[in-house]
């Protein structure tokens, strides 16, 4: 069953311009990873916060992606733009 994944990130405001370049270079890789259905980025610059909003086929597919970017160093690079590691949450679709 599809899931929504959110990552709330507290930004290092001094690195936001660099982060945007990093995201432009790396978002195509996320979108092409097996199981990814969608990824969008939202900023609240006043609060120095970014939301990564993703849809995945399964939690397992998302966790495989996290392992992949952890193993190849992309995750460490991404986290370097934040004040702390992102808060990751999983949401299941509810048909109402």
CATH code: domain of residue 74: 3.30.70.100
User: Residue 95: what pLDDT?
Assistant: 84
In a domain, 9, yes or no: yes
Model pTM above 0.95: no
Looking at 1-96, list the stretches that DSSP marks H as alpha helix, in order from N- to C-terminal side: 16-32, 59-71, 74-79
What is the H or E stretch that residue 39 is in? strand 36-44
Contact 36, 58 (CB under 8 A): no
Q: Which segments in the chain show pLDDT lower than 70?
A: none
**Residue 68: inside a domain, yes or no?**
yes
Q: Is residue 84 part of a domain?
A: yes
- Residue 96 belongs to a domain: no
Domain count, the chain: 1
Half-sphere exposure of 38 (CA within 13 A, CB side): 8
Taking the alpha carbons of 57, 72, 14, 25 in that order, is the dihedral positive or negative? Answer: negative
> Which domain, by its residues, includes 17?
3-91
């Amino acid at each position: 069953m599809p899931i929504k994944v959110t990552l709330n990130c507290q930004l290092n405001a001094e690195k936001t311009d660099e982060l945007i370049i990093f995201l432009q270079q790396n978002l195509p890789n996320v979108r092409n990873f097996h199981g990814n259905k969608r990824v969008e980025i939202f900023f609240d610059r006043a609060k120095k916060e970014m939301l990564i909003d993703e849809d995945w086929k399964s939690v397992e597919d998302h966790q495989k992606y996290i392992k992949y970017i952890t193993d190849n160093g992309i995750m460490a690079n991404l986290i370097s733009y934040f004040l702390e590691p992102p808060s990751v949450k999983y949401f299941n679709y509810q048909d109402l």
